[in-house]
């Protein structure tokens, strides 16, 4: 029997598994494939490619794309929306790292 980490059902729980074709992803987001290509051109998301070269998107990438779409729908230019989402992601990561460091490191006692 294969190791449990390679079970096919693990893919259902993996946010990074590229399960969605461009057409399906665009349909789920209520947008066009051109919008998804523009997100790639602006380096917000980089879809993986199938063996045939087709773009494939993960659930995580679709959540990121949905956030960009919200901003675009509010009137933000797509280039600016991509930059905002990238900065939001970087800020969230920095805050997570800060919390981990604070939780793992007690302040040193003052020197006598």
Token pair of 44, please? Answer: 């917000």
Token pair of 11, please? Answer: 């893919």
Rounded distance between C-alpha atoms, residue 25 and residue 56, angstroms:
8
In this prediction the pTM is 0.77
Q: Do residues 39 and 45 make contact, with C-beta atoms less than 8 angstroms apart?
A: yes
pLDDT tens for the chain, 112 residues long, are 445 555 656 776 788 898 899 999 999 999 999 999 999 999 999 999 989 999 999 999 999 999 999 999 999 999 999 999 999 999 999 999 999 999 886 566 666 5
pLDDT at residue 1, rounded to an integer: 43
pLDDT at residue 18, rounded to an integer: 86
pLDDT at residue 109, rounded to an integer: 62
pLDDT at residue 13, rounded to an integer: 78
- Comparing CA positions, the residue from 53, 17, 55, 50 lying closest to residue 38 is 55
């Amino acid at each position: 029997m294969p190791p449990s980490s390679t079970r096919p059902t693990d893919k259902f729980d993996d946010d990074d598994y590229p399960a969605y074709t461009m057409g399906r992803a665009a349909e789920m987001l209520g947008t066009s494939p051109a919008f998804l290509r523009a997100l790639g051109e602006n380096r917000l998301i980089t879809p993986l490619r199938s063996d045939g070269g087709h773009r494939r998107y993960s659930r995580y990438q679709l959540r990121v794309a949905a956030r960009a779409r919200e901003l675009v729908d509010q009137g933000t230019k797509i280039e600016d929306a991509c930059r905002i989402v990238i900065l939001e992601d970087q800020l969230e990561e920095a805050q997570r790292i800060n919390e981990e460091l604070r939780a793992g490191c007690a302040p040193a006692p003052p020197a006598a």
